[in-house]
Amino acid sequence: MLLKSKKEEMIKSLDKALKESESVVFVNFHGMNVADETLLRKGLRDQGVNYKVSRKTLLKRALDKKAEGEIPELSGEVALAYSNDKTSSAREIYNFQKEHKGVLEILGGIFEGKFVGKDKMMEIATIPSREVLLSKIAFLLKSPMQRLAIAVNEVAKIRS
C-alpha cells in the first residue's frame, strides 16, 4: 500500500509530464516481458519520447480537467508515452506495436488539448515524420522539372 505522500508525489509527476508534452498516448502493456519493455524504453528514449507506467486511479486523478472531452477507457496495465513533438509518441508506439505483435495496445490519448480514442491515435501514428514529408515535397517539386528537362532534351535531339 502506498502512502498518501507518495501518491501525491506520483500525481505531481504525472501533472508535470502532461503539462510539458504536446501529445500523450495511453498504452496497455499487459503481458509485456522485461526484455520487450527494455527494448521499448530504449527505442522511445532514442526518439525523444518519454514513457511512464502509472496506476489507473492516480492517472485518472492527474488527468482530471487536463483536456476537453471524455477520458478513453483505460483497461489493463496502463502507461503513458509523451513527447514535445505532436506525432512522435504515437508513431513510435505504433512502430513498436507493428514489430512486436500482441505486446502493446494503444488505448487513446491527448492530442491538441482533447482526449481522443484509439482510432484517432492510430491515424496520428501513421502520419510520417517531418523529414519524410519534406523529402516527399522535394520529390514532387523535382519531378515536373525533371520531365520538362527530358522533354526539352528530346526536342533538341530531334532538331539536330
Bridge partner residues of 68 (DSSP): 114
What percent of the chain lies above the pLDDT cut of 90? 25
**141 contacts: CB under 8 Å, gap ≥ 6:** none
Please determine, for residue 20, whether its predicted confidence score (pLDDT) is greater than 90. Answer: no
126 contact partners, CB below 8 Å, separation of at least 6 = 91, 94
Q: Is the pLDDT of residue 49 over 80?
A: yes
Mean pLDDT of 64-80: 86
Residue 110 contacts residue 27 (beta carbons within 8 Å): no
Q: With bands split at pLDDT 50, 70 and 90, how would you rate the model's confidence at 66?
A: confident
What is the widest separation between alpha-carbon atoms in the chain?
A: 89
Q: In this model, does residue 99 exceed pLDDT 70? A: yes
Topology of the domain covering 4-127: Alpha-Beta Plaits (3.30.70)
Average pLDDT over all residues of the chain: 87
pLDDT of 79 reads 92
Region 140-144: mean pLDDT is 82
Q: What is the radius of gyration, based on Cα positions, of the chain?
A: 22
- Segment 89-104 mean pLDDT: 89
pLDDT tops 80 at residue 160: no
Flag the least confident range among 11-25, 93-107, 117-131, 140-154.
Answer: 140-154
d(CA 143, CA 123): 28
pLDDT classification of 39: cutoffs 50, 70, 90: very high
Q: What angle do CA 68, 72, 76 make, to 5 degrees?
A: 150
Confidence of residue 78 (pLDDT cuts 50, 70, 90): very high
Q: 1 pLDDT exceeds 80?
A: no
